[in-house]
Structure 1
Amino acid sequence: MTHFAAIGAGFSGAVIARTLVEAGHRVTVFDARTHVAGNCHTERDPESGVMVHKYGPHIFHTDNERVWEYLNQYTEFMPYTNRVKTISGGKVYSLPINLLTINQFFGEAMSPAEARAFIEKQADLNIEDPQTFEEQALRFVGKDLYEAFFKGYTQKQWGCSPTQLPASILKRLPVRFNYDDNYFFHKYQGMPREGYTAIVEKILDHPNISVRLSTPFSRSQVKDYDHVFYSGPVDGYFNYELGRLGYRTLDFKEIRTDGDYQGCAVMNYADESVPYTRIAEHKHFSPWEEHDKTVCFAEYSRTCESGDIPYYPVRLAQEQTMLRDYIKKARAEPGVSFVGRLGTYRYLDMDVTIAEAMHLAESFLELTAKNNPVPAFFNEPI
């Protein structure tokens, strides 16, 4: 029986490990933290009983039926619609920008057609091919909405001017001309009844999976396994020999009180003068539960430094050379495949992470069955 290692007990490592052991192999899963599920980790708050998302809120949403069916083997999903509010200029608005937001902001009562024509007049149509975040926003919503809802929030979230960020961050048209305030478009949306950690624990619950928590993995251990699937930071694997790739990390300020603190799960703070980006009230992520007390986290974004938990890859232009050099080193590393958000230095939603892990493990089994070489990257970082 071949023996593999999966580094990181988040969704990438867990799904890969489960797929491999069900094919008759043995896997040891390492994680430097004291728990599984990575940044999706959830736990019951002992004081309030609220299910808390310890590293910030995660709402599951996907159009991938296979991923949805896979997770439903391990949990019961409860209905949940993510309806975000934002405070800008001392007033509360609905996000994403929709017909209610537009009418509230401009003090109008426009129909969808009227609002569409109105926003077209606001938009900067001289920007034909937006290259930056700011140009993308100005092109589609105009100066007033951009400055009210995007500029300050984005500056806080990414720690740089929106003129330095690529237009791709605003992937979709950031405005709706109806009253739909569901933050996501996806067919399947929900929250796991018992949280995300319970899902990962069940995925890892197999006699041929060994889980070693509070146990960092070093490059020197690769030789002890038939193959290693590494979901930690690709630059960290090489001990940051070429420097550190840019990440944002998050700090949380806890707020506890009785009753209902803000009346919704997520309240964004769009003004740059407010130091935090949003406040998440965790009991609203489980609306089927009732709690007398409440727990909230105010979220602060900053540059990730040594010892911090990396959250979002920045991927600014100046990092591309360093990333390419790390990719070159990774391709020359025998017996290791780099996977997931950190291993491939890409921002990935949960459903994409799971889909890629399933595909990677299946592809690995096919390659090894034919004695074909296994790539360092099944999903290209660039």
Structure 2
Amino acid sequence: MKKILIVGAGFSGAVIANTLAKTGEYFIDVIDERNHIGGNCHTERDPKTDVMVHQYGPHIFHTSNEKVWNYVNSFGTFRPFVNRVKSIYMGQVYSMPINLHTINQFFGKTFGPEEAKNWIKSKGDSSIDDPKTFEDQAKKFVGEELYKAFFYGYTKKQWGTEPRNLPASILKRLPVRFNYDDNYYNDIYQGIPEDGYSAIIQKMLDHPNIKIQLEKRFLGGSDQSSGYDHIFYTGPIDAYFSFRHGRLGYRTVYFKEHRTEGDFQGNPVINYADEKVPYTRVHEHKHFTPWESHSKTIYFEEYSKETDEDDIPYYPKRLDEDMKILKEYELEVSRLSNVTFLGRLATYRYLDMHHIIEEALDCAEKFINKQS
């Protein structure tokens, strides 16, 4: 049997491990430097409130890929869940993403869909032909007023820079709707696992050919000499090469935890769009499991900051200097024959859970076919 090392016990690593193990042709070691599986999707019950907490911030599973949806459901029950985000700006609560209700409330109108489309079009900056920056993208499609209200302050806090310094691609994935649909996502399948994400990943890793070692740090390229036939690496690409070309830029988040009786905010996630409010959003985790009942509650203020050496990286910044550094590391990767880089950190891309699972399934299948 071939011996495989998988670095990282998040979704990428777990999907690879599960797919390879089921063939019966591989022994797989999965290592993770944290004291739990699940990566940033890790969930566990808060002992004081019994609420299932998303330890690294909210994760709502959504996809239009039936194969991915059926795959994750084979490891546990996903309950239907629609993410309805609110945003507070200047003392008013608005519905997000921007939809017909948001537009009518903000401008004090009673527009129908076509009237709203024409109104927003008239507000947009028609002089911007090809938006290159976040700010240009917003101004072209929703206009100065909605940009300043819902995107400027929040984005500046989230990314630690003026939105004009950010690429337009960050905003392109956020919809604007001209009906009253306040579902944050457009995907066909949306849900949250009944027993949390860590239970799903534990079932993926529950195989006699898989051995898990937690609190074990991967030491970089030198670990290739450990007798493994292949390594699947899901950690930061720059860390693998001991940062020899420099560190890639990430934003990270940290949380301030609160508990109280009853219901704190009545919604899973509320954004705080005002720049003067130091946190970006508040998430109250009992609302991610509406099928459960809890007399107490736990909620978190979320703050964004630059990633220091000891921080967990969350969001790849992908600024011009980062992309230059990334090319150096990608050149290094191209010279390796027995290492596969996959997942958000190893490919330095923003990926949702369904993208990660889809790519990991495809990667595992190609690897198996290549070996046969």
Q: Normalised by the size of structure 1, how large is the TM-score?
A: 0.95
Distance 1:263 1:21 in 2: 43
Displacement of 1:170 in angstroms is 1.5
Residue in structure 1 matched with residue 314 of structure 2 by the alignment: 311
Displacement of 1:64 in angstroms is 0.6
Residue in structure 2 matched with residue 320 of structure 1 by the alignment: 323
1:279-310 superposed Cα distances (whole Å, 9 cap, x missing partner): 00000000000001100111001111101000
1:125 equivalenced with 2:123 (yes/no): no
SS at match of 2:59: coil
Equivalent residue letter for 2:42: H
Residue in structure 2 matched with residue 4 of structure 1 by the alignment: 4
Distance 2:255 2:356 in 1: 25
Are the counterparts in 2 of residues 140 and 173 from structure 1 also a CA contact under 8 Å? Answer: no
Distance 1:105 1:249 in 2: 31
Equivalent residue letter for 2:211: S
Residue in structure 2 matched with residue 16 of structure 1 by the alignment: 16
Residue in structure 1 matched with residue 224 of structure 2 by the alignment: 222
Distance 1:320 1:192 in 2: 35
Residue in structure 1 matched with residue 114 of structure 2 by the alignment: 113
Displacement of 1:181 in angstroms is 0.2
1:66-94 superposed Cα distances (whole Å, 9 cap, x missing partner): 01000111010111100000001111000
Distance 2:171 2:208 in 1: 44
Residue in structure 2 matched with residue 285 of structure 1 by the alignment: 288
1:29-74 superposed Cα distances (whole Å, 9 cap, x missing partner): 0000000000000000000000000000000000010010001110
Distance 1:139 1:221 in 2: 49
Residue in structure 1 matched with residue 86 of structure 2 by the alignment: 85
Give me the CA root mean square deviation.
Answer: 0.9
Residue in structure 1 matched with residue 269 of structure 2 by the alignment: 266
Equivalent residue letter for 1:360: C
1:42 equivalenced with 2:43 (yes/no): yes
Change (3 A) 1:172 1:39: closer
1:198 equivalenced with 2:199 (yes/no): yes
Distance 2:335 2:193 in 1: 40
Distance 2:172 2:67 in 1: 24
Change (3 A) 1:165 1:50: same
Are the counterparts in 2 of residues 137 and 174 from structure 1 also a CA contact under 8 Å? Answer: no
Are the counterparts in 2 of residues 265 and 284 from structure 1 also a CA contact under 8 Å? Answer: yes
Residue in structure 2 matched with residue 300 of structure 1 by the alignment: 303
Equivalent residue letter for 1:277: T
Equivalent residue letter for 1:199: I
Q: Normalised by the size of structure 2, how large is the TM-score?
A: 0.98
SS at match of 2:142: helix
1:100 equivalenced with 2:97 (yes/no): no
SS at match of 1:279: strand
Residue in structure 2 matched with residue 347 of structure 1 by the alignment: 350
Displacement of 1:21 in angstroms is 1.1
Distance 1:147 1:364 in 2: 48
Residue in structure 1 matched with residue 75 of structure 2 by the alignment: 74
Equivalent residue letter for 1:20: L
Displacement of 1:172 in angstroms is 4.2
Are the counterparts in 1 of residues 97 and 174 from structure 2 also a CA contact under 8 Å? Answer: no
Distance 1:125 1:47 in 2: 54
Displacement of 1:241 in angstroms is 1.4
Equivalent residue letter for 2:77: E
Residue in structure 2 matched with residue 374 of structure 1 by the alignment: none
Displacement of 1:365 in angstroms is 1.2
Point out where structure 1 has 5 or more consecutive residues left out of the alignment: 370-382
Point out where structure 2 has 5 or more consecutive residues left out of the alignment: none
Distance 2:175 2:73 in 1: 31
Distance 1:333 1:69 in 2: 34
Displacement of 1:171 in angstroms is 1.7
Are the counterparts in 2 of residues 234 and 344 from structure 1 also a CA contact under 8 Å? Answer: yes
Distance 2:21 2:257 in 1: 40
Displacement of 1:368 in angstroms is 2.2
